[in-house]
Structure 1
Amino acid sequence: MSDPFSFLPPGGATGAEIRARDWSDTSLGPPETWSPALRSTAALMLACPTAMFLAWGPDLLCFYNDAYRPFLGHRLDTALGRPFREVWASIWDDIGPLVDATLAGESKTLTNMPLDLSRDGTPERGWWSFTYSPAIDEAGQIAGLFCVTAETTAHVLSEAALRESEDHYRHTVELNPQVPWTCDPQGNITSFSNRWLTLTGQGPREPYGSGWIKALHPDDVPHTVTTFTACLASGDPVDVDYRLYVAATGEHHWMRARAQPRRDGTGAIVAWYGVVEDIHDRKLAERELRDLNVHLERRVAEALAQRKLWADVFEVTDALVCALDTDFRLLALNRAYADGFETLYGTRPRVGDDLVALLSHVPDEQAQVSAVWARALTGEAFTLVEAFGDPDRRRPYYELAFTPLRDADGRRIGAFQYATDVTQRLRELEQLAKAEEALRQAQKMEAVGQLTGGVAHDFNNLLTIIRSSMDLLRKPDLPEERRRRYIDAVSDTVDRAAKLTGQLLAFARRQSLMPEVFDVGARIASTADMLASVTGARIRLVVEAPPTACHVLADPTQFDTALINMAVNARDAMDGQGTIVLRLACRRGLPEIRGHAGTTGPFIAVSVIDEGTGIRPAELPHIFEPFFTTKEVGKGTGLGLSQVIGFAKQSGGDVDVASTLGQGTTFTLYLPQVDAPAAETEAPGRAVGDGHALRILVVEDNLDVGRFCTQILEELGHSTVWAKNGEEALAVVEREPDRFDAVFSDVVMPGMGGVALARRLRALVPDLPIILTSGYSDVLAREGTHGFDLVRKPYSAAEVAAAFRAIPGRRGGGAE
C-alpha cells in the first residue's frame, strides 16, 4: 500500500502526529485528496528549523513544525488540525486583524509585539516578532496564511535594562559638579558631560578631538598641550592647571584637569578617564597666600608678635594652613589646621611645637608626615594627595600644596602647607568609574548578543544548503547533471562561509593579512572589468586616477574585497542604474574622522561616489556596525562595510563617508602611502620544481582535517608523513633533517604553535620550504606571517597544489 504521507520529510514529532491523525473528519479530508500546494507547503515547513505555522483551508486548520511546538504550551495536545482561531482564541483580539489583512493579500511583519500567550495556563509577559504571508494554492488563489515567528522577550528586556543603565549613567555624569571626560590613546576627546558646554558656551560637537583647546586662555595653551602630550607618551597621570573661558561671565576661571589611563591585559593604554574641576577660588587664595608669603618673609625675623598677624590672615580660609621652619617647628597655623590635627591624632598643635615629635605615638603617620615635609623643606613646590588617620577607619584624603618660605634676602627658612579635604571628590570619582564600567559591560553584552545572533543566522543558512545537498547526493541513481549541480552548491556555499568568516575577522581586525607593496591605480584598473560585471550593464563605471603611480603596503586581496563591497553598496543605492565614479588621489592628508584626529599624511584616498538615494543622518553612526543593513531582508548581510573599516583600520588607515539624501553618497578609503618598491633581482638558488612528487611533512592536530589534507597531497602524487602536533614534527625533523622536501603546518595547535615550529625548523634546516595554514590566528593577525607562505582555511585541492608547485625537487637522504 502506498504511503499517503510520502510527501512529508522523515522524522520529527509533528510529522509523526500528522501521520497518526485521522483527517477524514476535517474540512481537508483524507491526505490522498490534499492539494499539491498544501502538500509542498507543509513539507517545506516541517523541514525548516525556524519556528513557523500554516493555517489552511476555509476553516484555517492549524499546521506547524517542531520548532513552533514550545510556543503552544498547554495547547499542544489539541492544536494540530484545529481551526487557527480556536487555538489562539485568548489573543485573537491582537492577531485577528493580522489574519484578516493576510487573507486579503497583504504580507505583514511585526517586530517586538507584546502578547500574553499563557503557555502554561498562567499569564506571562512576552514579546514576539511575526512575518505573516498569504499561502497560495496551485490555482494562484489565497488558501490560507503562512507565518514565521520568533520570541524576542530576552532582547526587549535587555534593551530596556540597557536604556535604564544608560539613563543612570547619564544622570550620574550630568549631576556631577565636575566635568568628567574621556579621550583615546592619542589624546582626542571622545566624551564629556554637558556641563563643559554650559561652562564654555561651545557647540555640542566642538570639544571633540582637540576642539576643547579653543576654550582655554591663549597664554595657557602651550604649557597645557606640552604637559598633556608628555603624559600621553609616558603613561603618567595627567595633572595640569589652566584658565578656561566661562561663557556666563565672559571671564577666564582657573581649572584643574586630571586623568588616569585605562589599560588592557597587555598593559597597553586603551583610553583615558579624567575630570575638570573649578579651582578658581583656591588659585586666588594661593595668590593671596603667596603675596602674604612675600610680606611675611620680610618680617619673619621680627618679634614673635608678628606671628599673630599670620594666624589672623590664615583664618580667612577653610583650608588647613600651616608653616614650618627647617627644624620642623610650627611657625604659624590656622584654627582649621589645629582642629583637623586634633581630630586625627588627639593632640592640639601650637606655634613652636615640633610637628614630627607630636606624632611619636603614631609611628606610621610620623614617618609619612616627616617624609612629606622633608621634601617640602628642600625648597620644592609640589602638590600631592595623601590619606591620614586611623587605617582601620575610613580615612580622609587631603590635597596638600607646598610652597617654599624665604626671608627678605631670599634665603630658605621653611615651607607653607595648604591642605584641602578631597575625600568626597574622590568618592564621587569612584562612583563615576563604577557607573562607567557597568555601562561598558551592558554595551559589551548587547554587542555580543547581536554578533552571535547574526553569525548563527547566516551560518545556519549556509549549513542548510550543505546538509540538503549532501542528503540529495546520497540518493541512488542520481543523474550526473544533478550530482554536479549539488556538488557545485556545496563548493560555492563553502566559499561563501569562508568569505563570511573573513569579513568577521576583518571587522574585528583579526584577519591574517598578507600585505605587499602595490600600485593602487594599477590595481583599480586591473579590477575595473570585474567591478563592471558586479555592478551590471546599466551602471556606468568611471575611473579617475592620476598619471603617476602611488603605492601602499596592504593586502591586495582584502583591498579588492573592500573595493567590491563599496561598489556593490553604490549599485544597490542607485537601484542598479546610474554612474559610479572611482576616484584615486595620492599624497593626501588624513582628515579628522568620527572624532579621531587626522594627520598630514601621506595617504592615498580611494573614493567611491554614487548618485543614489543617500543615507539618512540617523543611520550614518551605525553603518559600520556588524549586521547593520538598510537593505531588504535577504539583500545583504550587513558585513560589507564592517569588512571595509576593519581592513582599513588594520592597515593603518580609516574610512570616511559623506551623504546627502536624494543626491548620493561618497565613501573614501584612506591607506598610508609608501615609496615604490626597489627593483628586485632574482635570488640564486635551486631550480623551481615542475610539479614532481615531493615528500611532505604534514603537521595538523585536527584528525579529520589531517586525513583530508594527506589524502589531497597523496592524490596530487606526493608522499606524506603526518605529525599530530608541533613537538612530534620537530622530533621527526631533528632525527632526519634531509628527509622532507617541504613542511605543511597548521598555525593554531595546542603546545607548540605553527609559527614557533616554523622558526625552530628554519633554524634547524634553513633551506627547508615551510608553508603555514590557518583559518584564524591571533599571532598572524597581530604580527603577520613572519615571512612564511600562508594557505588560508578552508582550502581546496587546487589551492594546495598551487602552493607546492614551486617547491624544489627531492632532497637527499632519508628513507620513507
Structure 2
Amino acid sequence: MNDSDSRDGPAPSGCDIDNAARAAALDRYGILDTARERVFDDVAEMAADILDAPMAVVNFVTDERQWFKAEVGIGRNELPLDVSICRHAVLQPGVMVVPDLSQDARFDGNPLVHVVEGLRFYAGAVLQTPEGVPVGTVCVLDTSPRPEGISRRQERALRALAAHTMAQLELRRTAALAEAETARAEKRGQRLSLLAQGAALLLAADDAATMIRDMFALLERPFALDTCFFYACGDNDLRLVAAMGLPPEIEQQAGRLEYGQTICGVVAQTHEAVHLSRIQDLDNPDAAFLKAIGLQTYLSSPLMRGNRLLGTLSFGRKGPAFSDGELEVLQTLVAQTATAVERLRADDRMRESEARFRNMADNAPVMMWVTDPSGVCTYLNAGWYAFTGQEKGRGEGYGWLEAVHPDDRPAAERAFVTANAERRNYRVDFRLRRADGVYRWTIDAAAARFDHDGTYLGYVGSVIDIDERKVAEAELEARVAAALAEQALTEDALRQSQKMEAVGQLTGGIAHDFNNMLAVVIGSLDLLGRRIGIDDARSRRYIDAANDGARRAANLTQRLLAFSRRQPLNPEPIDVNRLVTGMSTLIRGSIGTDIQMETVLAGGSWRTLADSNQLENVILNLAVNARDAMPEGGRLTIETQNAHLDDRYAAAHIGVSAGQYVLIAVTDTGEGMSEDVIAKAFDPFFTTKEVGKGTGLGLSQVYGFVKQSGGHVKIYSERGEGTTVKVYMPRLVGADVAHCVEEAVSDAPVSEQGEVILVVEDEPAVRQFSMDALGMLGYRVLEADGAAAALRMLEAHPEIALLFTDVVMPEVNGAKLAELALERRPGLKVLFTTGYSRNAVYHNGVLDVGVELIGKPFSIEELATKIRQVLDLRV
C-alpha cells in the first residue's frame, strides 16, 4: 500500500490543526524532553519488526523541531523541523506511505534524502488526541525504496501501535494528574489539620495571651516561624498582649504602639494586611524594627469583626516569603482568631452581665427565669420561689412544670418546646400554683437571646400574675371583634358606593335620551290639545291619557336623574321643622287613616341648604314606603334632630364627611327588612313589591338627592321590628345665600309685544315643537340648528330679545354659545334647556349664579311661564 492508497478520503477537520493547538496538547501531556520509557521503546521496536525496517521512531512534532521519545536505528533524539518528514504526516489522517522519498517533490533538497545511502522509504501513522489534534507519528524508515509500499496487515499494525501510543500518553497524563492531586491533597490535609487544631485551641482558650502562645507552638515548626505577636486595640493605641520570639528588651520597647507607627500600626490604621519578604534588603523606616530582629519574611493582619478592629496578629521568620498555601492557612487562622478574641471579650461581658442580671432579677417585682439553648432552665429568681413556694433549685431543669396546673401543663410544655426549637419568642398563659395552693392565671413570656454573631443562647423570661386582667382581656377581645366587624362594614360600603356610582352613570345617560324623546311627545300632545276643541271629549280623553303617560315617564326620568346625581338643584336655606310641619297634611292624606302619624321636632333645629322641592319629595317618598310596609296599620314617626357625625363614623362609611348635620328620621312599625334587602334597597329598580306596584326608584331617588346635596342616608331595620331611615343633611352655617324664585302661575302668560326669540336646538323635532309653542304664545321665532348658525342669526337680527338654547349640542355646547353671544350682545337674555347636563351650566349639582334653566320635557304652560319670567328680569 502506498501513500495515495492511505488517503482514500478527505482529511477530517481535526487533522488541520494549527501549531498553537498542537503545542497546547503536548504541554498537557508533558512528554517533551522526558527520559526514555520502556513502553514507548517497545512500540518503536515492534514497528521496526512488523515492517522489517532498520529504523523506527515514536516522535512528536512542535513548531520548531521533531523530538524522538523512542527510536530504533537513528542514534539521536531530535531533528530540526525543516528536515522532518513526519511534519507532513501529521497533516493527514491515518497512515502516510512514501515508497521512494527521492521521487517525491515534497522532499527535494532534504539532506536526509538526497545523500549517498540516504532515506528512501517512509511509512508513518499519525498520533492524534481524543480531540482530534495531531501531535506526532509512529513511523518506520529504510534506505532502500519499497515500490510495493506496505501490506494491509502492516498498515493495521502501524495504526494499532499509534493508538497504543496515544493510550499510553493518556494513562501517563492521568497518572501525573492523580499524583499531583494526591500531593495537593496531602498539603491540603496538612493545612486542614493545622486549621482544625487551630480552631480547637482557639475554641478552648480562656484568655487571649495563652491562645496566641498555643497558636505559635502549633505553627512554629510547620511554617518555620521565628516570632509571633498580638496587639489589642486600646482607646487610642495598640497594646501588646502576647509575643513569642522577641528579645525581652525589644518586647518591653514594643509594649505600646500608636496607630500608624511601625508595620503593625499601619495595618491597624488601614485595616489591610501587609506581607513583606526580603526585609533585610528593604529601605523602609517602618520595617526597621523587623530588620533589627533579623526577619526576612513578615505577615501582619488586622483582626476584624465586621467593620470593627480588635487588634493585629503578626507572624515572622528568617526564611523565604510565605507561599500562597501558607498565606491561606495563616489568614484563615487570623479570621478564626478574630472570632475567638471577640468570643473571649463577649464571655467577659457575659460574666459581668450575668452577675448584674442575677442581682437585678432577684430584686425584681416579677418572677424571672433563664434557659440554655437546649431549653433546660438554668435559673429562677427569688420571686419565683417566693410565689410558688418551691424549694430553691427545684424549679430548674424542667421542675418548673410541677407548679403549673395539671390541665395546662401539656399545652405549656408543648408551646415552650416548639418555640425553643424554632428559636422564636415565646408566650403562653397558664395557671400557676401559689404557695398557698391557689392557682392563679399568669402570663409566661420570653425573648430568644442571640449573641453578636447570631448564636442562639436560650431564653430570658418572666412570669406575671394576670388573674385580674382576664376580665379586661375579654373586654378587649370584644372590642377587637367589633372593630373587625366595623372594618367589614366599611369595605361593604366602599363596594356599594362604587356600584351605585357605576349604575348612576348608566341611568343618567338613559334619562338624557328619554328626556329628548319625551320633550317631543309632551310638547306635541300639548299643541294638539290646544288645536282640538273643548267639545271633542273623546279626543280630549285620548290626549289626556297620552299626556298622563308621558308625564309619568318624565317623572321616571327625573327619578333616574335624581339617583344618578345629575339633576340640577336649586338650593335655598331650609328650616326642616317648618318644612315637615307644612307637609303634615299632604303626608296624612298619603298614608291613610289606618296609620297614626307623629312628628317629633327638635327645638333650636339647625337649617340646611338644599332644594326644598326635592327634600319634600324625599320625605314623602319615605312616608309612602313606610305606609306600604304597614298594610295592617301602624305608627309613622317623623323626627328632626341636630346631629354630629364624628371621624370614626365617617371613616367607617365611604363618602361621609365628619361634621354637623340636620337629621330627618322616618320610622315605621312595619315588617322591617332583612340584611340582604337593606344591602340592595338603594339599587335602582330594586323593589320587594308586586309587579306593577312600584318602580324601584323611590329609595334610589332619595339616595341620589341626599348624596348630591352632600348628605348621608342610612337604613336601620330588623325583620318584624320596623324600619328607620335617617337622612343627614349638612348644616347651613353663615349668611343665607340662595337663589330662590317663587311665583304662582295660573294661566300661561303670552307675549303682548311680539318679542323675537332665537331657538337653538340640534334635534329637529324638539326645535320644531319649541318654535310652534312659542309662536302659539305670540312670540316671533327664529331658529338655528347649532352655534355657528345661531351666531350668524344674532348678527343679522339685532331685534332678538332672548336666546333659547339647548345645553348639550355637538361641537359647541349651549353654555359656550351663550358666552360668545353675550360677548357680541351684552344684555341679551338667555334661557337654557336640557334633558341632562353634567357640568355645562351647573357644578356639583347646583345651578351657576344667574343661569336660567328649564328642564326637558316641559309643557307649554311651563315654557310660557319661564320665558316670560326671563324676559321680565332686570339686567
TM-score range, shorter chain: 0.3 to 0.5
TM-score by structure 2 length?
Answer: 0.38
